Structure 1
Amino acid sequence: MTTETQATAAASGAGATARFRENKQFTANTSQERVSTIAGRVIKAINDTVLEEHVSYDEYNALKAWLIKVGEDGEWPLFLDVWVEHSVEEVANANRHGSKGTIEGPYYLPNSPEQNSPATLPMRDDEPGTPLLFQGQVTNVAGQALPGAKIEIWHADDLGFYSQFAPGIPEWNLRGAVVADQDGNFQVHTMQPAPYQIPTDGACGQLIAAAGWHAWRPAHLHLKVSAPEHQLITTQLYFEGDEHVADDIASAVKPELVLAPTDRADGIGREVTYNFVLDPQD
């Protein structure tokens, strides 16, 4: 039987590409003038780099071969989500007054199993790691509770792998959608995730090795929080003391998103409280 530690970049990349095609829009209401402006600036930036850095034909051909491999490995979602999405997110959420957002990443899946709060995420009987109680309240920017708010949560396991993107993990492991109570309060029992390296045996790993970068992301919870007549917020929450909070390869960490869990009074793992504030719909 194939286990999660035998996951490959190619398989993960193919899964991320397939999920993107299933779940995302491919088109935008963008004029020819807008496309021309954006595409023109990107192409100019590439040409400016070639001229300023005196790129050789050997380097140019190596780039072409690498770009082809990114596609063959299915790693365009990974590449874009790691190195580009944080800027797109900054633009998208620039006018929010509520909670801070950050990148979605390539491993989101819609329609995860829904539970009312208090909830326990699906997990294996022998799920490794430290139990974590994640709790809080969802309000609007005026401080009013949002009854029935939905908290979608997903994260890697203690070995750094995501269900449905690595073999040998139950389908919805450590994924769920939790409905807050009438006061907007929620409680989620899960396991504290571990830091992990993005896949390094494919094209993105080749770039990291060639550039002498590291491949680490700090441990994090992924979240999408929503309520009727309010803007959905997509975010990640990190953990104080993680050595990669300061140098996340995806540049997604913000100070407001760093948690400081404490030991639970009952001695069963750790707990942390984090409240979400949602902006009204435009």
Structure 2
Amino acid sequence: MTTTEQDTGTTEEQATAAGSGLNATATFARKERGSSGPVDHDRVSTIAKDALGALHEVIRRHQVTYEEYDALKAWLISVGETGEWPLFLDVFVEHVVEEVAHADRKGAVGTIEGPYYIPGAPEFASEAEVPMRDDEAGTPLLFQGTVSDLDGTPLENALVELWHADDAGYYSQFAPGIPEWNLRAQIRTGADGHYAFHTIQPAPYQIPTDGSCGRLIAAAGWHPWRPAHLHLKVTAEGKAPVTTQLYFVGGDYTDDDVAQAVKPELMLDPQPASSGAGVQVTYDFPLDPA
């Protein structure tokens, strides 16, 4: 939802799973995807048969009843109606796809993208005051580092994209009442490969629980929380891009993230900022060759 589409009488707290889900679905539909070439029918057949076979085995193992089967059908229909497929897949499935796709990486460690990425954030050179409201809540955070190749040579003109939730756990363009590019920015590195974002430290948040995904979580007795995190995409010419999330040492839910996306290599340990305002942290991105 852009600022021109927002109802100025609404607030972040009125955000719904349906609204967020439909925005995520629309964003995914606009996502640029390269052609995958001719369909490999044998591979589709093998994957589909294995996936269905695994589901069939679950039904047999647990002696699923018709009442449970009908409940599943109704739930699947509701996921589609509320646009929550991107949320469901990104929370419960994507972490395994990412693990398989990037198993041979030697440099910066990736994790899930999640459903809330929007391309085209305001771009800056080397250092940026991330767009935010004048009264933005949260601890000031200086997040900085260097983009390099695997040998440590700095990469000039690398693009570092940053986006994250606000202190209440909401993302701009996915909840009403938030400026369009709030807490979203991208930086082009200089000759020294350095980047520096001046932002705020986000808080843990619940994934939307008033819709279909929330009903699944409640029925299973799981918790819906994600640990506080920063989202990053880092790209450079001739290098393999990395998409990741960075978490905070000692933060809540880092040991039992609902999305299972936390990795030891992705932990930040902020220290008091040298400026005296808030905290700061340094995190470098060595990139694999493309």
Q: TM-score range by the shorter chain?
A: over 0.9
Summarize the alignment of residues 1-282 of structure 1 with structure 2, pairs less than 5 Å apart.
1-25=9-33, 28-29=36-37, 30-281=39-290
Instruction: Provide the rounded CA distance (Å) in 2 between the counterparts of 1:79 and 1:144.
Output: 39
- The amino acid that maps onto 1:164 is Q
Instruction: Provide the rounded CA distance (Å) in 2 between the counterparts of 1:233 and 1:76.
Output: 23
Instruction: Provide the rounded CA distance (Å) in 2 between the counterparts of 1:26 and 1:145.
Output: 29
TM-score, normalised to structure 1's length?
Answer: 0.98
Instruction: Quote the RMSD (CA, aligned, Å).
Output: 1.0
How many residue pairs get aligned? The number is 281
Offset at 1:39? 0.7
Moved more, 260-269 or 132-141: 260-269
Offset at 1:180? 1.3
Identity of aligned residues (%): 60
Where structure 2 has 5 or more consecutive residues not aligned to the other structure, the ranges are 1-8
Deviations 1:168-206 (A, max 9, x none): 000000001111121001111001011000000000000
Deviations 1:101-122 (A, max 9, x none): 0000000011111001211110
Instruction: Provide the rounded CA distance (Å) in 2 between the counterparts of 1:70 and 1:91.
Output: 26
- The amino acid that maps onto 1:42 is A
Deviations 1:81-134 (A, max 9, x none): 000000110111111110100000000011111001211110001011010000
The 1:151/1:26 distance shift into structure 2, 3 A limit, reads: closer
Instruction: Provide the rounded CA distance (Å) in 1 between the counterparts of 2:106 and 2:273.
Output: 32
Deviations 1:3-45 (A, max 9, x none): 1110000000000000000014396344010000111111111
Deviations 1:51-73 (A, max 9, x none): 11000010000000000000011
- The amino acid that maps onto 2:200 is M
Moved more, 76-85 or 178-187: 178-187
Instruction: Provide the rounded CA distance (Å) in 2 between the counterparts of 1:58 and 1:248.
Output: 31
- The amino acid that maps onto 2:274 is A
Instruction: Provide the rounded CA distance (Å) in 1 between the counterparts of 2:24 and 2:201.
Output: 23
Instruction: Provide the rounded CA distance (Å) in 2 between the counterparts of 1:242 and 1:178.
Output: 27
Stretches of 4+ moved more than 6 A in 1?
none
TM-score, normalised to structure 2's length?
Answer: 0.95
- The amino acid that maps onto 1:238 is Y
